[in-house]
Amino acid sequence: MMRALWTHLAKDLRIELRSLDAFVSMLFFSLLVVVLFSIAFDPQGDFARQIAGGVLSVATMFASVSALNQAWAREIRHQVMDAQRMTPAPGADLFLAKVIANFLFVTVVQIILAPLFLVMYNLRIEGQAWLLAFVLPLGTWALVGNGIFFAALSIRSRNRELLLSLILFPIFIPALLAMVRATTSILTGDGDPMLWIKLLLGYDIIFTTVSLLLFDVVFHAD
Amino acid sequence: MKKLALISYAALVVALMIWGYYQAIYVAPLDAMQGEIFRIIFYHVPSASVAFLFFAISLAGSIGYLAFRRGNPGWAQISDAWALSGAEVGVVFCTVVLLTGPIWGRRAWGIWWTWDARLTTTLLLWLIYVSYLLLRRFAAGPQVQTLAAVLGIFGAMDVPIVYMSNRWWRTQHPAPVFGGAEGSGMDKSMVPPFLWNMVAWLAWGILILILRYHVERQHQQIAEQEAHEALTASS
């Protein structure tokens, strides 16, 4: 079980390390979103702290979609996906490996983006900054987990790239809300972010479990 | 026989709707606090109930499709037809809810919209089921029913989470009118008009749902027949 997962993960990481396709496009795209919002709203002081959480979450969300769309497209070429369907390994391994790989890509982008973000929005964190180390990974996991699942679901449809956003964003709304509220409350120091972190954790557990259970149904749908 | 039953049911629905309209506009007295605008409750609340009921039917259909898909294809097709028609008619009723709500809110609260638990949940339900219908439109081929069923289940799981998250956040929608705390409940004179409208709109919704279900079943049968003809022609 673990070996199949590890093989898929190592393969995805190796491809990404050699091409850096997903990483570069995500980094540049999220940078663009941050700059565009900064120009549009001219954030200063308290106002910057209030909108920063939302901007960071939405920037991550839009950026990840570009990587999520590529996640399965690569497998379609040369009928790799058909070969994977025929292997005896459970689809859940493949799914989990893809989620972990893309989670790592998005996290690296966030780590690079965060300092830039603090500089451009002149942020001083008023709350407990270390809590961000829980909020961002939990929110990213919710996004990437559902994203990989829905990308597999929409892969065989017409305009699949548009369709992924159309079905992912509505389902992601509660996690986005929790992520934004938690980040904002950490940045401004008002309110308690723990409630939102618990909500994110619950969302992650529920949706990851159901994705793992239903992935084979989607993967083998014909 | 089936046709006759449907036509007489349709006639009954029309009569109920006219009676409900008469009750809502002429019989129900003015609300002591809100004036005329309160009459929107006779359309808003029944539409919301019907929408939620039909989304539940859609969820049941999705689960049924996944359960029967391997063992009993006939039942699976029936479940899928219910899932699709529930979602489609539910979206129409949900649209009515989302249109009538702000009209009332503008008068009663002074604002068109607020991010309250029930409003956000309803809007999210609407978004999820519109995306469900888009998936059914974009994804072609035989796998679309499976994919749609999975999305239907995912969407339904999202609803309680949104509801809870918004209750923690903020709530402005009026507390439940029926069975709520002290001071809730309607004046006795308003209850019969309200119930008549509930019955009338539910009957109307069921009529549309049944018609939509029949159209979908016929679609399925034509598709099956075409597939069969294509198979026999090539051999």
The number of C-alpha atoms within 13 Å of A143 and in the hemisphere containing its C-beta is 31
CB contact under 8 A, A178 and B165: yes
Question: Which residues of B are less than 8 Å from A221 in CB distance?
Answer: 143, 146-147
Amino acid letter, A61: M
Name the pLDDT band for B180 (thresholds 50, 70, 90): very low
Whether A171 has its CB under 8 Å from any CB of chain B: the answer is: yes
Q: What confidence score (pLDDT) does residue B171 get?
A: 53
pLDDT (average), residues A29-51: 84
Q: Which residue of A has its CA nearest to B67?
A: A217
Q: Which range has the worst mean pLDDT, A68-77, A146-155, B164-173, B216-225?
A: B164-173
First CA to last CA across chain A, in angstroms? Answer: 25
CB contact under 8 A, A199 and B141: no
Q: Which range has the worst mean pLDDT, A24-38, A143-157, B95-109, B169-183?
A: B169-183
Over 50: is that where the pLDDT of B215 sits? yes
- Distance (Å, rounded) from C-alpha A159 to C-alpha B81? 24
Whether A181 has its CB under 8 Å from any CB of chain B: the answer is: yes
Burial class, B70, CB count within 10 angstroms (exposed 0-12 / middle 13-18 / buried 19+) = exposed
CB contact under 8 A, A174 and B157: no
Q: What confidence score (pLDDT) does residue B12 get?
A: 92
Most A CBs within 10 Å, among B63, B147, B153, to test the A interface? B147
Whole-number mean pLDDT of chain B?
85
| Residue B35 DSSP SS3 | strand
Contact (CB, 8 A) for A150 and A168: yes
Q: What confidence score (pLDDT) does residue A103 get?
A: 94
CB contact under 8 A, A173 and B168: no
pLDDT (average), residues B190-203: 87
Query: What are the phi and psi torsion angles at B35 (to 5°)?
Result: 75, -150
Over 80: is that where the pLDDT of B45 sits? yes
Percent of chain A at pLDDT exceeding 70 = 99
Name the pLDDT band for B221 (thresholds 50, 70, 90): very high
- Distance (Å, rounded) from C-alpha B148 to C-alpha B131? 10
CB contact under 8 A, B161 and A221: no
- Distance (Å, rounded) from C-alpha B78 to C-alpha A144? 34
Q: For the segment A128-185, what is each residue's pLDDT rounded down to a tens digit?
A: 888 888 999 999 999 999 999 999 888 878 787 888 999 999 999 889 988 998 998 8
Q: How far is B70 from chain A (nearest CA, A)?
A: 11
CB contact under 8 A, A173 and B142: no
Whole-number mean pLDDT of chain A?
87
CB contact under 8 A, B151 and A166: no
Helices (runs of H) and strands (runs of E) counted in chain B: 6, 0
Whether A11 has its CB under 8 Å from any CB of chain B: the answer is: no
Q: Who among A146, A166, A174 is closest to B131 (CB)?
A: A166
Q: What confidence score (pLDDT) does residue B207 get?
A: 93
Cα–Cα separations (whole angstroms), residue A19 to A14, A32, A55, A156: 9, 21, 28, 25
- Distance (Å, rounded) from C-alpha A99 to C-alpha A105? 10
Q: What confidence score (pLDDT) does residue B79 get?
A: 94
Q: What confidence score (pLDDT) does residue B218 get?
A: 93
CB contact under 8 A, B169 and A222: no
Over 60: is that where the pLDDT of A207 sits? yes
- Distance (Å, rounded) from C-alpha B206 to C-alpha B93? 12
- Distance (Å, rounded) from C-alpha A139 to C-alpha A161? 22
Q: For the segment A48-71, what is each residue's pLDDT rounded down to a tens digit?
A: 888 888 888 888 898 899 888 888
Domain coordinates in residue numbering, chain B: 38-173+191-234
Name the pLDDT band for A83 (thresholds 50, 70, 90): confident
Name B226's Cβ contacts closer than 8 Å, sequence gap at least 6.
Answer: none
Which single residue is written with the structure tokens 């199949």?
A: A4
The number of C-alpha atoms within 13 Å of B81 and in the hemisphere containing its C-beta is 19
The number of C-alpha atoms within 13 Å of A179 and in the hemisphere containing its C-beta is 25
Q: What confidence score (pLDDT) does residue A49 get?
A: 81
Domain coordinates in residue numbering, chain A: 2-219
Q: How far is A218 from chain B (nearest CA, A)?
A: 6
pLDDT (average), residues B67-75: 89
Contact (CB, 8 A) for B193 and B27: yes
| Residue B171 DSSP SS3 | coil
Beta-carbon count within 10 A of B131 CB: 21
Q: What is this model's ipTM?
A: 0.83
